[in-house]
Amino acid sequence: MLGERNVAAARTETLAGVGHEVVFKVLGAISVCHLVNDMLSSLLPAIYPLLKSSYNLDFAQIGLITLTYQTTASLLQPLIGFYTDKNPRPYSLPVGMSATLVGLILLSIAHTFSALLVAAALVGTGSSVFHPESSRVARMASGGQHGLAQSIFQVGGNLGLSLGPLLAAFIVMPRGQTSVAWFSLAALLGIVLLTGVSSWAKEHRTNWKKFSAKHVDAPPNLSTARVVASIAILMALLFSKFVYLASLTSYYTFYLMGKFQLSVRSSQIHLFVFLGAVALGTLIGGPVGDRIGRKMVIWVSILGVLPFTLLLPYANLFWTEILSVVIGLILASAFSVIVVYAQELVPGKVGMISGLCFGFAFGMAGLGAAVLGWLADLTSINFVYTVCSYLPVVGLLAAFLPSIETPRMRGIHEEVMAE
């Protein structure tokens, strides 16, 4: 009995690489940094009204700022992840946050449109470095509970995205463009935390190789064509999820004001309730995937939300709020699970796959918001929500995903949690 416990403990130690106390400190730090990164990134679109009036910008120029940010924040992510998979750069995390810091300072003092574009590019570059590399560190610190680690990591980003517009409304809009510089203090905090995280990652790089996806999560006998097809299915599921979420995060307040004649303040409260449900769903999804299997969570999260999205356009105010919370909880649970599933589907490419998932998600959210806005101008917000209610049908594609989790992996997860 003692020998069996020693073997189990040794296996757990090999899998985790470090003690659980240190692991959760790292996960907490990287989640806080995710909050900081996404909060700072969300400041830029939040102050568009200020920039538009200050520089007499037209909507085409606003769109160019968004394009510059999205190009660097989305398209660079898989490229950076691919490079760092082959050439580990533990200290790229504080370097990326430094780019965001410089971008914020430039944004606060910019006097020309070209300077705004450079600032947007720097903020986007910082985000493109942060996401694939911090997702890798979250996996390193997971102790085998990859879904839990991704959920802890991602919930910080959800909170940051909701905080950015709120802080912009209460700090930047009343005080002007120069007040953006105050947020450089948050970037400095992020740099300090990420320097410590990078030191931990460098110290445990050898342990990371012992329990990386290449060694314990390799899918059994999948052809290259099957892997490519599965990645394409995951991208389609992310498209469905993030375009629908973009319809709520971007236009929910207008929907509530137009359909139910709510005030701006009341509609914003409803939006924050929805965003809180999204954050909670993100936190729940990963651990549930560790316990019952990721494919099952993907099924339930994408396709299972369909009845609620179909009902939403026809609900009264009370049921609209209830349905929006249920939709946020269920739909948000998918992302961390999809990221981990994709990492296990392509062993040894954690950075590239994480960058692909985050970059594609950001790109689809931005593109979706733009297309839905155009559609709303042509028709109505109500029509937009009716069209978007069918997006979760894409979840049917999850039936074609291979079952790559093995009983051995589930047994290891249970041993880690038991310890």
| Residue with the larger pLDDT of the pair 242 and 94 | 94
What is the Cβ-side half-sphere exposure of residue 39, based on CA atoms within 13 angstroms? 24
Give the separation between CA 9 and CA 2, rounded to whole angstroms.
Answer: 10
Token duo for residue 403 = 């079952």
Rounded to two decimals, the pTM is 0.73
Mean residue pLDDT across the chain? 81
* Cα torsion 152, 154, 160, 163: sign: negative
Token duo for residue 121 = 């590019």
Helix (H, G, I), strand (E, B) or coil at 88: coil
Count of other CB atoms within 10 angstroms of residue 202:
12
Q: What's the alpha-carbon Rg for the chain, to the nearest Å?
A: 21
Please give the distance of CA 321 from its chain centroid, rounded to a whole number. Answer: 24
All structural domains of the chain, each given as residue ranges with its CATH number in brackets, are: 1-211 (1.20.1250.20), 218-419 (1.20.1250.20)
Burial of 258 (0-12, 13-18, 19+ CB in 10 A): middle
What backbone phi and psi angles, to 5 degrees, belong to 222?
-100, 130
**Least-confidence region, from 18-22, 117-121, 381-385:** 18-22
**From the DSSP assignment, how many helices (H) and strands (E) are in the chain?**
21, 0
- Of the pLDDT bands very low, low, confident and very high (cuts 50, 70, 90), residue 405 is low
Q: What is the tens place of the pLDDT at every residue in 144-168?
A: 787 888 888 888 888 887 787 778 7
Q: What is the tens place of the pLDDT at every residue in 275-323?
A: 888 888 888 888 888 888 888 889 888 989 999 999 999 999 999 999 9
